[in-house]
Amino acid sequence: MSLVERKRQLVRDELSEAALQLVAFQGFDDTTIDQMAAAAGVSRRTFFRYFQSKEDVIIEFLSDLGRKLRTALQSRPESEPPAEAVRQALRVFTDKFWEHPEKSSRLARVTVETPALLGRYLERQVAWKATMTEELARRMAVDPDTTLEPAVLVAVAFAAFDTALMCWAREPAQDLNALVEECFTLAFR
């Protein structure tokens, strides 16, 4: 990566972090693009060089997690049962959330309570599910176009994860990992 690329990535990361902090503590609707830019020490024009909208700041954060999700599934032991491999791969989200639990719970709440963000989150999930299904099918040595099992396992895993996430967003004092475990246990009895 060249010096220019590293500098651009640094500015993007700073903008993203400042915007996420503001949204987490002020709410999505009460946070403006001007506030996001000011918090990162850049102009409004610079903001638009990196993001098309304030929704994109949140979605970019989710995109990074989505890329890590496939890598996490690929790194699971091949001998691990498929449902367990997917459950463990989804720890990418919970591990990231525990780096900054207060901010993460606020962002989760903002995401599930803001229709535009929830829609973008679910839109991203479609791509994540397709990627996870493809990788899970490879692990199971089946054709994802003719065998439903990988897609169903991934869909159920995301339903369990989303249920835990929404409970946690409403009551962040709960242990997210415990909620995920409980939801997976119920889903995969």
What's residue 42's pLDDT? 93
CATH T-level assignment (fold) for domain 1-51: Arc Repressor Mutant, subunit A (1.10.10)
What's residue 36's pLDDT? 94
Domain(s) of CATH 1.10.10.60: residues in the chain: 1-51
Mean pLDDT, rounded, of the chain: 89
Could you say which residues of the chain have pLDDT below 50? none
Following DSSP, what letter does each residue of 57-87 receive, concatenated? Answer: HHHHHHHHHHHHHHHHHHHS-TTS-HHHHHH
What's residue 35's pLDDT? 95
The reply to whether the predicted model has a pTM over 0.75 is yes
**% of the chain at pLDDT higher than 70:** 99
CB atoms within 10 A of CB 119: 11
pLDDT in tens, 100-145: 777 788 888 888 888 888 888 888 899 999 999 999 999 999 999 9
Structure-token pair, residue 38: 């000011």
d(CA 176, CA 94) in angstroms, rounded, equals 7
State in words which class domain 54-187 has: mainly alpha
Distances (CA, A) of 33 to 22, 117, 174: 10, 15, 32
Query: Can you list the alpha helix ranges (DSSP code H) found in the chain?
Result: 3-26, 33-40, 44-50, 54-75, 82-89, 91-99, 101-113, 115-140, 149-170, 176-187
What's residue 80's pLDDT? 95
What's residue 60's pLDDT? 75
What's residue 104's pLDDT? 80
What's residue 159's pLDDT? 96
Distances (CA, A) of 41 to 20, 49, 174: 14, 14, 35
What's residue 187's pLDDT? 95
Domain(s) of CATH 1.10.357.10: residues in the chain: 54-187
What's residue 57's pLDDT? 82
d(CA 160, CA 128) in angstroms, rounded, equals 15
